[in-house]
Amino acid sequence: MKSGFYVSAAALAMVAGGAFAQDLKFPVGEGGFNWASYTAFDEANNLDGQSLTIFGPWRGEDQVLVESMLAYFEAATGVDVSYSSSEGYEQQIVIDAEAGSPPDIAVLPQPGLIADLAAKGFIKPLPAETAAWLAENYGAGESWAALGTYAGADGTEALFAFPYKADVKSLVWYSPDTFADAGYEVPTTMEELKALTEQIVADGGTPWCIGLGSGGATGWPATDWVEDLLLRTQPADVYDRWTTNEIAFNDPAIVAAIEEFGWFAKTDAHVAGGASAVAATDFRDSPKGLFASPPQCYMHRQASFIPSFFPEGTELGVDADFFYFPAYAEKDLGSPVLGGGTLAFMMTDNPAAAAFIAWLQTPIAHELWMAQSGFVTPFKGVNADLYGSDALRKQGEILANATTFRFDGSDLMPGAVGAGSFWTGMVDFVGGKSAQEVADAIQASWPQ
Amino acid sequence: MDNIAGKKPALLWAVHLSVVLLVFLWVVPTFGLLVSSFRTGDQISSSGWWRSVQTQESQLPAIRIRGEAVERDGSFVIAGDLFENTGAEISRWGINSRDTEAFAAGETADLGDGQSLTVQADGFFELTSETSLEGARLPRVFVTASTPPDFTLQNYNNVLFSPLAGQSIGQAFLNTLTVAIPATIIPILVAAFAAYALAWMDFPGRALLVAFVVGLLVVPLQLALIPLLQFHNWIGIGKGYLGIWLAHTGFGLPLAVYLLRNYMVGLPRDIIESAKVDGASDFEIFVRIILPLSFPALASFAIFQFLWTWNDLLVALVFLGTGNDQQVLTGNLVNLMGSRGGDWEILATAAFISIAVPLIVFFAMQKYLVRGLLAGSVK
Amino acid sequence: MNPAFQALVVIIIGVGGCVGYFYLSNLFLDKVLFPAKGAMAGRNINRANAIRPWLFLFPALALLTLYLAYPVFATLWLSFTGRDGAFVGLENYTRMIAEPKFAESLTNNMLWLIVVPAASTAFGLLAAQLTDRISWGNLAKSLIFMPMAISFVGASVIFKLIYDVRDVSVAQIGLLNALWLQFEGGIGSFLLLRLLPGLFVASLLAAFAYAGWLVLRPLLQGRAEPLTLRAGRVIGAAVAAFLVYEMALWLLGVVTNDLPYGQPQTWLQKPYWNSFFLMAVLIWIQTGFAMVILSAALRGVPEDTIEAAIIDGANPFQIFFKIKVPQIMGTIVVVWTTITITVLKVFDIVLAMTNGQWETQVLANYMYDKMFRALDWGMGSAAAMTIMALVTPILVWNVWNARKEMR
């Protein structure tokens, strides 16, 4: 702080920060927003002149969206917020934490990584009552609270991270027109989905587009498949114990789920380009097969973010739609939903950071983003009419109707597995290795 | 040097041809990127860039009929053009994804429910319905058409003037220059002195020091990030320009010292010896003789160090920070790609925008890469 | 204060400071501390000359020590500690060696270390020599240099547009597959895919065999040479023998392989070959570097030696190989060394294109993976130390060279 360079940089930051403070997207007091929560927060917090740095995963369009929400926080508290993000934010947060210059608030989509940071003592615990608040106010609240609870540096468990913004992953995307042309119905059970898959093959079509390519992260889309299928073949507690390795990766239950994925992805007739194309196709290009002429495939299982990779001009609800990746009717496991989400946590004792966590507990902080796009929340206190589109509202419903919600398992596992051997193992699996071989190798890589 | 090849025209032709081939191999990938930067994301991922300059016949993605219905002769009609840009010519079309080439241009298709659709070769369509089309889902048309080349400047517009990255590209450009220029000049200066000492001064341990420098060449950058940021935080400069200048200097030094020393060792001994005999001090020898003679080596290292700092993202993110006011060009461009990063067209365009300055630097420095100064001083 | 203005000030302060430091410290040494006059003039000059190198070296050494050497020692220490920071001895190393991915990285790195520096230097030398003698040489140079100026962000798209693979039913957007699909097994395919590469590989085989023979011959003749040189000859011959063996396998492959005509190929997923497709990216980038440096060196070759050779009736090839190349050998070695070291550190190409999957892992990416993805600093540091250790032969060679130059 002594350095002249630093001071001038800070001055510039204030100018830049002021840039997004001025435009509040929705006029205060209008529309179906919970403005009462905004004014109450406004009155309770006065932190004029303080500054807050937030580091998160949202870039590009998402950054514009999050900044529109942050503008209200600034207006309510007088805090000067500077939000930043970068490619490779996971590495960067580790470097910054280790080097001793962390942001005040960090937001990450990987609970596993947050747990590592908490264990090293880089994260400040949240107030004790926050866990109870989550349990009460979030749908499937206990599991959300559990998601942010880790052992600290001294070994005691506490809530460290606050979940904000969810993604639904158990979605199958399709083109309603293409379905109508062929006379197919949206399946409601896994049995129907499998029958439909075979029906499409019998009719001379290709049912699925699956692409695992993602540069250095190649393989991750397959981990979502396996997790979704595990939730549909085994009770949720198997899933939980699997993510902590209490149930070994090469347990028959897990191997069966991997083989289940193989039924979709390793049968040449089931997937566009044949099994060998699965690992080579980029996940961003893969959904385009739905809209090709003639269609390369009829269905694409992917999380809620994927429409940004649909061809330009694709209208959600008209040209493209989605249905819930269904559960087996005969297994009686309810309707499990696999999802993801981002969690915010404090890395400094800045009072503005504590205020920000409190802000995330107001309905308005959720409504401001959900009224735009790409935001689903498990917060029950928001006005669901505000969802920016029917697609979002439908995802919100899937989230609300879920009997079980489970977080993306690969993000819960240690990085060596969840962002390493699990990915590569899945690539090996579609490349020809057996499920057992792959599971054995992944189990061997689990850090002891 | 023309005296070698000049005498044999056949050989000269062979040289020309080989260079053409070599340049072709080296340029094709970049040229593909250049062409792609003028195409939309959909075009990039649906056809090869080498096909973009020719009229091609292909099945286009389904196009949905749009437009306002007007009442005509008791039926409702929507008429319009399937293509926004003209020039495409339809050969076959269809309305069902299972039979996308059912009709020839100009034919009329019966859609059932009293609707019928006619599509002309130039894309003009007419949808007629007996009942109101209000709120109805309009049909899709699959067309097989030959489309003329179609290029867009929209990508450049998006990259240069997009509000998405949170700040203007101009600011990022300035930030990058602010990082790159001192981070190029300082290491050269420091390294030149060290290289001279290692090349021409006699002291114990010289060979070991050379080894030390070569050994440090191989240090992976990632190792140094955390200890150094810790150090910067500890001495109080934190994240900022001073820190990144020092970091780039430190990381660039081994190569600078190594290259310059090897160049300086090759300078003619007699020039330096005679200067010493004339009573010049080492400092004077260095400034008056070594520096001018080493200009090609200094220039080539300057080019590489500048390129490296210009294109660097990692060091900038770690030592400068990610705030909008500190973002460098690479960081800004990468952020444009959004959280999932898959916009090939943005990537391609961004790459071409960021390549401009290094190329200008290369062109500007090229004439200094010749050892002409040496020749002048010897003769 | 505007950062650009700040930068200007810093350039002036930095540059001025550096120059001032060197000038004033020398002045101080010569005029105040050990003035070269008076009774002790001779001794003082000697003393000043003993200190002066360190004045010249000080800023560089200080920065190098702080910014590179210190992290290396910190890493060395980390490589002996476990996750909780306790000393664990060689455990990280034994765990690392037990991992199949480590052995894979090591073998791949060997391949990279042979192919990339050789190919980049050869292409760079070729480009430097050829472009020097034609009118549009500078333009050609700039074009070959261009890949160096492309940020990695751009390079990743470029090679996606080359290696991409699509289903055979749709248009390919990868150039390589589009070309591949042009072949259907006719006479053109035979010429371009069998005969031409066959001849090329055969000539490589012959070249390696001849080079190996040249290296080994003095040893077989029993010439008296220092032990180190003999050891070097044995190693060189072994490398050549290995390459000859590889080329023989390739030749066999080229002649006998059934080529899957008409099927798009997943280039980056074919074990062994995919490493070469990744190497192509680095060669494409590094050739510009080699060309720039070698071109400067070639222009420094004294005209009179060339003229003398021309008068003696040497042909252009003889002039190039017998006159020019030996004179710029020092620079060639520097370029080779620098590229070798770049290869040891390369990870972004592998990270972005395959992340070490399909058996393409290399040490630097392995290290990055362990450090930042698995957060296993112990093993990551151990991998880093392995990379550092691989450079030892180059170190030894440089010490030897520096000693030789001294005398």
**Measured distance between the N- and C-terminal CA atoms of chain B, rounded to whole angstroms:** 18
Measured between CA atoms, the residue of chain A closest to residue B43 is A311
Distance CA(B112)–CA(B130), nearest Å, equals 10
Answer yes or no: do B119 and B139 share one domain: yes
For residue B266, is pLDDT > 50?
A: yes
CATH of the domain at B325: 1.10.3720.10
Measured in whole angstroms, the distance separating CA A446 from the mean position of its chain's CA atoms is 23
Contact B29 C147 (CB under 8 A): yes
The three-class DSSP label of residue A369 is helix
Ordered DSSP codes for C266-333: -GGGSTTHHHHHHHHHHHHHHHHHHHHHHHHHHHTS-HHHHHHHHHTT--HHHIIIIIIHHHTHHHHH
From A333's Cα to the closest Cα of chain B, the distance in A is 32
Could you give the angle at the alpha carbon of B173 between the alpha carbons of B172 and B177, nearest 5°? 115
Q: What share of chain C is helix, strand, coil (3-state, %, to 5)?
A: 80, 0, 20
pLDDT, residue A400, reads 75
Contact C170 A296 (CB under 8 A): yes
Going by C-alpha positions, the residue among C75, C387, C348, C379 that lies closest to residue A445 is C379
Answer yes or no: do B215 and B328 share one domain: yes
C-alpha distances in Å from residue B41, one per residue of B64, B143, B152, B346: 19, 20, 11, 8
**C contacts of A273 (beta carbons < 8 Å):** 166-167
B154-161 and B169-200 helices, crossing angle to 10°: 80
Band of the pLDDT at B361, cuts 50, 70, 90? confident
Band of the pLDDT at B340, cuts 50, 70, 90? low
The three-class DSSP label of residue C248 is helix
Q: Are the beta carbons of B62 and C183 closer than 8 angstroms?
A: no
Q: Are the beta carbons of B146 and B298 closer than 8 angstroms?
A: no
pLDDT digits (tens, 9 = 90+) for C44-57: 777 777 888 888 88
- Please list the residues that pair with A51 across neighbouring strands: A80
Q: Report the residue count for chain A.
A: 448
Q: State chain B's mean pLDDT as an integer.
A: 81
Answer yes or no: do B203 and B106 share one domain: no
Contact C64 B245 (CB under 8 A): no
Helix (H) or strand (E) holding A294: none
Q: What is the 3-state secondary structure (H, E, C) of C207-223?
A: HHHHHHHHHHHHHHCCC
Answer yes or no: do B72 and B189 share one domain: no
Distance CA(A136)–CA(B328), nearest Å, equals 44
Identify the residue whose tokens are 């450079």. Answer: C391
Q: Report the residue count for chain C.
A: 407
Answer yes or no: do B282 and B350 share one domain: yes
- In this complex, the residue of C52, C72, C391 whose CB is nearest that of residue B223 is C72
pLDDT, residue C30, reads 78
pLDDT, residue B141, reads 87
Token representation of residue C127: 């480009």
pLDDT, residue B376, reads 33
Q: Are the beta carbons of A348 and A116 closer than 8 angstroms?
A: no
pLDDT, residue B200, reads 84
pLDDT, residue B369, reads 67
Contact A15 B325 (CB under 8 A): yes
Question: Which has the higher per-residue pLDDT, A281 or C398?
Answer: A281
Q: How many CB atoms lie within 10 A of CB B283?
A: 20
Cβ neighbors of C315 (< 8 A, separation 6 or more) are: none
pLDDT, residue C198, reads 87
Cβ neighbors of B286 (< 8 A, separation 6 or more) are: B192, B193, B196, C56
Q: Are the beta carbons of A445 and A417 closer than 8 angstroms?
A: yes
Instruction: Specify the fold of A171-335+408-445.
Output: D-Maltodextrin-Binding Protein; domain 2 (3.40.190)
- In this complex, the residue of A9, A218, A282 whose CB is nearest that of residue C357 is A218
From A417's Cα to the closest Cα of chain B, the distance in A is 21
Same-fold call for A12-123+125-159+339-401 versus A171-335+408-445: yes
- Asked if the C-beta of A86 comes within 8 angstroms of chain B's C-beta atoms, the answer is yes
Q: Report the residue count for chain B.
A: 379
Interface of A with C (CB under 8 A): 4-5, 8-9, 12, 90-91, 94, 113, 116, 215-219, 272-274, 276-277, 279-280, 282, 292, 296, 414-416, 419-420, 423-424, 427, 431, 447
Class of residue B206 by CB neighbours under 10 A (exposed 0-12, middle 13-18, buried 19+): buried
Q: Phi and psi for A344 in degrees, rounded to 5?
A: -100, 140
Class of residue C329 by CB neighbours under 10 A (exposed 0-12, middle 13-18, buried 19+): exposed
pLDDT digits (tens, 9 = 90+) for B174-220: 888 888 888 998 899 899 989 988 888 888 888 888 888 888 888 88
- In this complex, the residue of A216, A414, A415 whose CB is nearest that of residue C355 is A216
The three-class DSSP label of residue A74 is helix
Token representation of residue A32: 């179906």
Distance CA(B348)–CA(B268), nearest Å, equals 47
% residues pLDDT > 70 (chain B) = 91
Answer yes or no: do B203 and B345 share one domain: yes
Token representation of residue C204: 């490589």
Answer yes or no: do B196 and B135 share one domain: no
Token representation of residue C293: 């440096």
Helix (H) or strand (E) holding B78: strand B75-81
Distance CA(C146)–CA(C256), nearest Å, equals 38
Token representation of residue B87: 């020039």
- Give the range among A175-189, B14-28, B50-64, C113-127 with minimum mean pLDDT: B50-64
From C159's Cα to the closest Cα of chain A, the distance in A is 11
From A414's Cα to the closest Cα of chain C, the distance in A is 7
pLDDT, residue B14, reads 86
Q: Phi and psi for A168 in degrees, rounded to 5?
A: -100, 130
pLDDT, residue B164, reads 62
Distance CA(A165)–CA(A378), nearest Å, equals 8
Measured between CA atoms, the residue of chain B closest to residue C384 is B220
pLDDT, residue A11, reads 41
Q: What is the CA radius of gyration of chain C?
A: 26
**A contacts of B65 (beta carbons < 8 Å):** none
Identify the residue whose tokens are 């000697």. Answer: C46
From C1's Cα to the closest Cα of chain A, the distance in A is 6
Contact A427 C353 (CB under 8 A): no
Contact A416 C373 (CB under 8 A): yes
Half-sphere exposure of A284 (CA within 13 A, CB side): 21
Distance CA(A318)–CA(B136), nearest Å, equals 11
Cβ neighbors of B90 (< 8 A, separation 6 or more) are: B82, B105, B119, B120, B121, B122, B123, B143, B144, B145
- Domain coverage including residue B94: 56-147
Measured between CA atoms, the residue of chain B closest to residue C11 is B182
Selected residues 311-340 of chain B with any CB under 8 Å from a CB in chain A? 313-314, 317-318, 321-327, 331, 334-340
Selected residues 256-315 of chain B with any CB under 8 Å from a CB in chain C? 257-259, 262, 265-266, 281-283, 286, 296-297, 300, 303-304, 307, 310-311, 313
Selected residues 285-324 of chain C with any CB under 8 Å from a CB in chain B? 287, 289, 292-293, 295-296, 299-300, 306, 310, 316, 319
Distance CA(B184)–CA(B301), nearest Å, equals 9
Token representation of residue A28: 């205060």
Answer yes or no: do B212 and B143 share one domain: no
Write down which chains contact chain C via at least 3 CB pairs under 8 A. Answer: A, B
The three-class DSSP label of residue A334 is coil
Contact C374 A276 (CB under 8 A): no
Identify the residue whose tokens are 């070991």. Answer: B208
Q: Are the beta carbons of A286 and A211 closer than 8 angstroms?
A: yes
Q: Are the beta carbons of B122 and B90 closer than 8 angstroms?
A: yes
- Asked if the C-beta of A11 comes within 8 angstroms of chain B's C-beta atoms, the answer is no
pLDDT digits (tens, 9 = 90+) for C150-205: 877 678 778 888 888 877 777 888 888 888 888 877 787 888 888 888 898 898 88
Helix (H) or strand (E) holding C97: helix C91-98
Prediction pTM value = 0.86
User: Considering the domain boundaries, does residue B295 fall inside one?
Assistant: yes
Q: A294 preceded by cis ω (within 30°)?
A: yes
Class of residue B179 by CB neighbours under 10 A (exposed 0-12, middle 13-18, buried 19+): buried
Question: Which has the higher per-residue pLDDT, C289 or B59?
Answer: C289
Q: How many domains does chain B have?
A: 3
Domain boundaries in chain A?
12-123+125-159+339-401, 171-335+408-445
C-alpha distances in Å from residue A136, one per residue of A129, A150, A191, C362: 11, 19, 35, 49
Which of C9, C120, C293 is the best residue to mutate to test the B interface, defined by the most B CB atoms within 10 Å of its own CB? C293
Token representation of residue A218: 């190649």
- In this complex, the residue of C353, C357, C374 whose CB is nearest that of residue A427 is C357
Answer yes or no: do B253 and B122 share one domain: no
Token representation of residue B261: 């020393």
Distance CA(C218)–CA(C226), nearest Å, equals 12
Distance CA(C365)–CA(C380), nearest Å, equals 10
Identify the residue whose tokens are 């590179």. Answer: C68
Q: Which residues of chain A have pLDDT under 70?
A: 1-22, 216
Q: Where are the alpha helices (DSSP H) in A25-128?
A: 35-44, 61-77, 89-99, 111-119
Contact C152 B311 (CB under 8 A): yes
Q: What is the CA radius of gyration of chain A?
A: 22
Answer yes or no: do B92 and B45 share one domain: no
User: Considering the domain boundaries, does residue B152 fall inside one?
Assistant: no
pLDDT digits (tens, 9 = 90+) for B156-174: 888 888 766 555 677 788 8
User: Considering the domain boundaries, does residue B153 fall inside one?
Assistant: no
Answer yes or no: do B91 and B191 share one domain: no
CATH code assigned to A12-123+125-159+339-401: 3.40.190.10
Selected residues 259-288 of chain C with any CB under 8 Å from a CB in chain B? 284, 287
Answer yes or no: do B141 and B204 share one domain: no
pLDDT, residue C88, reads 87
C3-27 and C41-64 helices, crossing angle to 10°: 150
Q: Are the beta carbons of B175 and A12 closer than 8 angstroms?
A: no
Token representation of residue A424: 């590569």
Distance CA(C183)–CA(A413), nearest Å, equals 46
Q: Where are the alpha helices (DSSP H) in C150-195?
A: 152-163, 175-180, 187-189
